[in-house]
Each structure stands twice: as structure tokens, then as C-alpha cells.
Amino acid sequence: MIDLDRHSGLDSPVHRLEPRSRLLGFAALIASFAVVRNPVLLAPMLGLAAAAVVASRLPWEFVARRLRAPMVLVLVLGVVLVLASGGEVLARLGPLAIHADGLAQVGVIAAKLAAIGAVALVLFGTAPLPTTVVAMRRLGLPSLIADMIVFSFRAFHQIGVDLKTMRTAAGMRGVRWQHRRSGAPSRLGTLARMVGSLFVISHARAEQAHRAMLLRGYSGSAPLGPARPVDPASAAFVVLSVAIAVGLVVAEWQLGVAG
């Protein structure tokens, strides 16, 4: 799970960016990718995403592995689109018709997903999550939400282990988790009680942790402390990324108007 942080300690131009700048620049790019729709812009969009991955020195294997699941999902949706979207028919496979419109749409969707997913990985995989959350707070994220992100992040590893151990222990008392044929309702009941128990014990643990924090002077959000000054490279990155993002949006608009 915390696999995402695995490469956050590398050294690359992206890793060295000031956190708020990195967040702003890549967020602008991601937002502009969401707007892109015209096939002409797909290549530049993918090129930018690839450039980001290269600049971050994140392993391609890492990016590919993480994008595999959502791509599969989208391709499944794509099959529906290709077969059902109406419009010009490219070919026929027996009773099924392959529509050009659907095919084009699938291409656009897949490209956008890949580009957005890759840049998101670059944004969140090049720094530990708490660092990125601090940057978000400095940029206006309410401190209550920032705290929830940090505390949940810390808690869910332990809770994941708790649930897994509970299931193992229950398996050792006769629950057949993998059994397909029968017993599903009782398994659901067992899981419901485990989830309920997790609520109860995690709540108790959280109260203890909160008490410990109060004893160490926590009275609300942790004070932020001075921000790292924005260096010229980071400033340039933000300006450049926002400019490219705006450019993409304008291009999409113009192409939409013209086409």
C-alpha cells in the first residue's frame, strides 16, 4: 500500500521541486488533460505525461503496473462503447458492429486516463504523502481535512493488518473464506461483526492517541512552520506548466469551435 512512497526518496528535477510549486504545476496539467478531447491533442498530452515521468526518474514498470487496473476497466467500458455507440460502422463481426465513433472515443478515454494517471503518480509518488498534504494546506486546504488525511493514512495500515489477522484467526476457527458454494450469509455476518469490532477498537485506540497528542501540546492542527522558499526552478516550473495547461485548453476550445 505505502508502495506509493517507495520512490519518494529518489533524486530528480521533480523530486527537488518546492512542494507547493510541484502541486500547482502538475494539478494545472492534470486539469487541462481533463478538458482535452480532440484527437489532435492526444499526442502532445501523452508526450507531456511521458516527459513528466522521465523527469521524475520513476521506473516505467512502476507506472505501468499501477495504471494496469484502471486501463482494464476503461477497456471494458470501451467494448460497450465500440459496439453500441451508433454512427458510422467500420466493420462487422457477425451480429456485432464496430462503430468508428465508439473506437475514437475509447482511444480518447484511454489516452486521457493514461496521461492523467501518469502525472498523478509523478505528483504523489515523488514526495512522502505528509509533505504533499502540508503543501495542500498552505495552498488553502482546510486544516481539519488535512488532519483527517494524515491521521487516516497512519491508521489504515494498522487497521488493514487488524482485519487481515482477524480473518486469519477466524479461518482457524472454521470459517471457509474461499468457499463459493454456501455460507455466504454467515460470512457476511462475521465480516459485519469484524467491521463493527474494528470501529470499536480503533475508536478506543484513537482516543488514546488523541490524549497522548494533547499531552504533547496538540490543540488543533499542528502549526505549520516556515515554508521552504520557492526557488527559481520551481517558479519557472509553475509558470511553464500553467502556460502549457492554458495552451491546451485554448487549443481544445479553438479546435472545438473550428471542427
Residues within window 197-236 making contact with other proteins, judged by CB under 8 A = 197-207, 209-210, 213, 219-221
Which residues in the 99-118 window bind other proteins by CB under 8 A?
Answer: 99, 101-102, 105, 108-114, 116-117
Answer yes or no whether residue 60 interacts with other proteins by CB under 8 A.
no
Answer yes or no whether residue 148 interacts with other proteins by CB under 8 A.
yes
Answer yes or no whether residue 160 interacts with other proteins by CB under 8 A.
yes
CB neighbourhood size of 91 (10 A) = 10
Among 6, 39, 64, 168, binds other proteins (CB under 8 A): 168
Is 98 in contact with 91 (CB distance < 8 Å)?
Answer: yes
Answer yes or no whether residue 62 interacts with other proteins by CB under 8 A.
no
Strands (E) in the chain, as ranges, are 89-93, 96-99
Which residues in the 13-32 window bind other proteins by CB under 8 A?
Answer: 30-31
Is 100 in contact with 87 (CB distance < 8 Å)?
Answer: yes
DSSP-based three-state secondary structure for 17: coil
Answer yes or no whether residue 64 interacts with other proteins by CB under 8 A.
no
How many residues bind to other proteins according to rule CB under 8 A? 93
Which residues in the 169-188 window bind other proteins by CB under 8 A?
Answer: 169-176, 180, 184, 188
Q: What is the CA radius of gyration of the chain?
A: 24
Is 126 in contact with 22 (CB distance < 8 Å)?
Answer: yes
Answer yes or no whether residue 124 interacts with other proteins by CB under 8 A.
yes
| Stretch in the footprint of other proteins (CB under 8 A) among 12-20, 50-58, 64-72, 90-98 | 64-72
Q: How far apart are the first and last CA of the chain?
A: 44
Nearest CB to other proteins, comparing residues 47 and 235: 47
Residue 176 backbone zone (phi > 0: left; psi -120 to 50: alpha; other: beta): beta
Answer yes or no whether residue 86 interacts with other proteins by CB under 8 A.
yes
| Stretch in the footprint of other proteins (CB under 8 A) among 16-24, 47-55, 146-154, 229-237 | 146-154
Which residues in the 66-85 window bind other proteins by CB under 8 A?
Answer: 66-67, 69-70, 73-74, 77, 81, 84-85
Smallest separation, CB 90 to other proteins (Å): 13
Which residues does residue 146 pair with via DSSP β-bridges, in sequence order? none
Burial-class residue 33 by CB neighbours within 10 Å (0-12, 13-18, 19+): buried
Nearest CB to other proteins, comparing residues 74 and 242: 74
Distances (CA, A) of 177 to 78, 183, 188, 231: 33, 9, 10, 54
Smallest separation, CB 55 to other proteins (Å): 19
Is 139 in contact with 24 (CB distance < 8 Å)?
Answer: yes
At 121, list the grid cell. 503518480
Answer yes or no whether residue 139 interacts with other proteins by CB under 8 A.
no
At 24, list the grid cell. 500547482
Smallest separation, CB 176 to other proteins (Å): 7
